[in-house]
Chain A
Amino acid sequence: MNVALAKTETGRAVSETFAMARSRLPGAGKVADARRKAFESYERAGLPTRRIEDWKYTDLRVLMREVLPLAAVPDQSALAKAVDAVKAAAVENACRLVLVDGTFAPKLSDLGGLDKGLRVQSLRETLDAGADLPAAATDDVMVSLNAAMATDGVIVSVDDGVALTKPVQIVHVATASSASVFTRSRVQVGKGARVTLVESFAAVSGAKSYQVNDAVIVSIGDEADVAHIRLMDDATDAVNISSGLVTVGAKSKVNFLGLTSGGRVSRYQGFITLAGEGSDLSVNGVNLLKESQHGDTTLVVDHAVPNCTSREVFRAVVDDRAHSVFQGKIIVRPDAQKTDGKMMTRALLLSDDAEADNKPELEIFADDVTCGHGAAIGALDESLLFYLRARGLSEKEAQALLIQAFVGEAIESIADDGLRDAVVAIAERWLAARG
């Protein structure tokens, strides 16, 4: 399916960027080899274009043009600037891991009173100690580029049977302008463990036109219970291409919510493999886009074994000239009998220039399954607006209420009250800013 493409100008530019960055990248020997191989596989394809089916609606050659040089290691002033952004993004009472411009910042992190059975290290530390680069089972070119260029990240592991009392939050802060940031993290959840993981992306007010490429490799053991929340609020002229690669063991319960409200161009691609029987997966996404933002959420749920349940709920609110993309795919492998998979995607267009593209795919190789998907695109219901207006609400208030209810269906899935309120607050801020 992938079309062989001639190398372009941008392709050459990025090889220089890689050559320049090389000396700064942690890991020697086999890690350096792995990086070179990953870079070669990226270089063969270059930035994805619309001719690559998986990137049909997000043509990075047009939207991103080039990979910028690596951001410098943050100095004292950069770290000082990042403090406020970290504070704003912080969720209460969390074990907080902060990455500034792609470098782990222990001083901004909050590692006090770690739960027993929770271990945290920076990627650089582990690579320096001779560990391998966290491996990702995908041939996606942007994940390959990430492997080649990742400067740092966090390595989190939770032992078997441990129920964390506090959420683990990874905060990415950008302070640099016109530079790229590559981070790669791994989260390992042991058998029977309970974990709440929050990822936040934010920027200091001066950061402009930067690029983020993040990859998180999550492996979840049997009988675990994981809540995973991802909040992307990068600068509105930034590019954020992130990938989540998740493997789920048997009889686990996993609940994911991704909220995209920032970035000029963004793509979150989640590749979730159900590798153990009897697991229950819920994946939810919300895109809140305005002005000329382009937000792409791509979710691939792979039912590799029988008897799993997956639910996907996606909501997009698209205003001004923004462009929302949702690509969902449910794969049911030949042996994955008794799979129950549902996917529902809805988009709300608030402006005549807004665009929403949906591609909900089913790929099914087993017969004893129940799978379904639904997709709907439309504007706010006039009769509902009228109902609220008739009860004395202003046009804006009525719209805000309906939009809140619309995205609420996805946000509701968060079990933790505090976190849910925090996410609702972000949505409310976005609505208030609409004015």
Chain B
Amino acid sequence: MPAVQETVDRVRQIDVDQYRYGFETIIESEKAPRGLSEDTVRFISAKKNEPAWMLEWRLDAYRRWLTMQEPTWARVDYPKIDYQDLYYYSAPKKKKEIASLDEVDPEILKTYEKLGIPLREVEALEGVVRSDSENGSGERRIAVDAVFDSVSVATTFQKELKQAGVIFMPISEAIREHPELVKKYLGSVVPTSDNFFATLNSAVFSDGSFVYVPPGVRCPMELSTYFRINERNTGQFERTLIIADKGSYVSYLEGCTAPQRDENQLHAAVVELIALDDAEIKYSTVQNWYPGNSEGKGGIYNFVTKRGDCRGARSKISWTQVETGSAITWKYPSCILRGDDSRGEFYSIAISNGFQQVDSGTKMLHLGKNTTSRIISKGIAAGKSQNTYRGLVTAHRKASNARNFTACDSLLIGDKCGAHTVPYIEAKNTSALFEHEATTSKISEDVLFYCVQRGLSQEEAVGLVVNGFVKDVLQQLPMEFAVEAQKLISISLEGSVG
């Protein structure tokens, strides 16, 4: 059982307080003045060379935001955020155009190394192109868009994607280069007035990824974005927009880390997915923001709005998430099943340890006929954390033959943590068929005893059981992420065994 052994080794090596990605990169950066006002919004828009319509869109959102109240319904508890004490824009100072790897800012390069992005990709990230023979044929490749604080620093494989007709670029570039697409789809799934954090994001978002897959195209490689908050007191507000046109397919990965700091940092992202007729989008996240130390100090507030719109008939959107980081997670990747015969899926592993608070789940809104959805959620609570699943499944009057299956299981490790399940199941259609099941338990003594009796140590046994518990979800992840996620799970749980 090499995977289990590796898990256990890792557990041994690492202290409770240790967060692998907690380092800080010292680079010069350019920031907007502290605080939020119309001027900040104008500053960001100007920095991005945005057209006038975009600025108006932002200002409209900002004015609306001023009238909104922060939501309080989630089971999370945090001191009031002073929105005037944050930096809303921070960018690494640009050096001249890069010609070879040697010229890349060595600090940024080091960061990527530490983050574990393979060197080959780092080279690609920084624009050094190798020939195909060197690359080794037949290997899987991933196109990466790296977002450092507020700006996208590099996007790889642009040329090859272009050949397939796929547009993959920072959203700030897309606003300038493909305004017709952005105008048509931006805010069409998560409207600017959607909720407090989404509205704030609409006003001040600085960068993020934009993907457009043309009709009938199967995206030739996995697309990936890597988010990194580096600067102190900076909020990160990225915006991702993915459009899969008729009959296309795209798989998208997202990863995130932040340095270890004592104060809390805010991350309020918006992700919008649009799947037209027969299109499929697979969106995977491994969220590993800094969760705070063992006393609950510091960590990221992760207040994210993610929503997919199955706009076309027979379209499909699948969310997979592994949530191990962040001091507070407030996140509900949802699917609007508008097209007939469309399908939504949500697979989630949410792990909380220390003082982490997770309030996460999904919404499946069945609007079209014969729509189906599936929710598999696995929550693991350890330490003094609180782990909540909150989900909504609803079928509207016209959603005949809507089908949903939900299974949400929680595992508790230790007696100081809490696991909660808050499902909302609403049916307004007689042909709707909804099934929901949930369980909460601790690891059975019998199971542990069985494993220990067969020669496993207590730690190995727990690792084995936990990995088995989350297997259903891990299987949904692309291969590269599955390995990473498995390791993350053991790191997050470490200190809670025994």
Residues of A within 8 A of B (CB): 1, 3, 53, 56, 334, 337, 347, 349-379
Contact = CB atoms under 8 A, between A and B. Distances in A.
Interface stretch (B57-65, B140-148, B208-216, B438-446): B438-446
A347 B434 CA distance: 10
B425 to A, nearest CB: 4
Contacts of A334: 415-416
Contacts of A349: 427, 429-430, 432
Contact of A364 (B413, B428, B440): B440
Given A56-B424, A361-B420, 8 more contacts: A334-B416, A349-B427, A349-B430, A356-B427, A359-B424, A375-B423, A376-B433, A378-B432
A43 B432 CA distance: 40
A378 B425 CA distance: 12
Given A362-B419, A377-B425, A367 B414 contact: yes
A364 B421 CA distance: 9
A323 B420 CA distance: 26
B456 to A, nearest CB: 21
A374 B427 CA distance: 15
B421 A361 contact: yes
Nearest to B413: A367
Contact of B438 (A350, A368, A374): A374
Contacts of A337: 415
Nearest to A380: B430
Nearest to A360: B423
Contacts of A360: 421, 423, 425, 436, 438
Nearest to B445: A368
A374 B432 CA distance: 16
B120 to A, nearest CB: 44
Given A349-B427, A355-B428, A367-B415, A378 B420 contact: no
Nearest to A342: B439
A355 B427 contact: yes
B442 A369 contact: yes
Nearest to A374: B437
Contact of B436 (A53, A355, A374): A374
A352 B396 CA distance: 10
Nearest to A352: B430
Nearest to B420: A363
A369 B441 contact: yes
Interface of B: 72-73, 397, 410, 412-442
Nearest to A347: B427
Nearest to B427: A377
B432 A359 contact: no
A354 B442 contact: no
Contacts of A347: 427
A53 B73 contact: yes
A352 B428 CA distance: 7
B439 A371 contact: yes
Nearest to A362: B421
Contacts of B412: 364, 366-367, 369
21 contacts: A53-B73, A56-B424, A347-B427, A352-B431, A355-B427, A356-B426, A357-B425, A357-B427, A358-B425, A362-B410, A362-B419, A362-B420, A364-B419, A367-B442, A370-B439, A372-B437, A373-B421, A374-B437, A375-B423, A375-B425, A379-B433
Contact of A375 (B417, B428, B434): B434
A367 B412 CA distance: 5
A362 B422 CA distance: 7
Contacts of B435: 374-376
B362 to A, nearest CB: 15
A370 B442 CA distance: 8
Contact of B426 (A355, A364, A365): A355
A228 B426 CA distance: 29
Q: What are the nearest 5 A-B pairs in CB distance?
A: A367-B412, A375-B436, A349-B430, A358-B425, A362-B421
Q: Which one of A3, A350, A375 has the greatest number of beta carbons of chain B within 10 Å?
A: A375
Nearest to A339: B440
B430 A351 contact: yes
A334 B381 CA distance: 14
B427 A372 contact: no
B48 to A, nearest CB: 37
B425 A371 contact: no
B441 to A, nearest CB: 5
Contacts of A372: 437-440
A359 B442 contact: no
Contacts of B72: 1, 3
B418 A377 contact: no
Contacts of A355: 426-428
Contact of B433 (A350, A354, A366, A377): A377
A371 B436 CA distance: 14
A379 to B, nearest CB: 5
B415 A366 contact: yes
Contacts of A351: 430
A316 to B, nearest CB: 10
Contact of A363 (B418, B424, B425): B418
Contacts of A357: 424-427
A53 to B, nearest CB: 6
B428 to A, nearest CB: 5
Contacts of A363: 418, 420
Nearest to B402: A377
B448 to A, nearest CB: 13
Contacts of B430: 349-352, 354, 379
A360 B420 CA distance: 11
A26 B372 CA distance: 58
Contact of A368 (B417, B437, B442): B442
Contacts of A3: 72
A68 to B, nearest CB: 30
A359 B439 contact: no
Contacts of B414: 367
Nearest to B421: A362
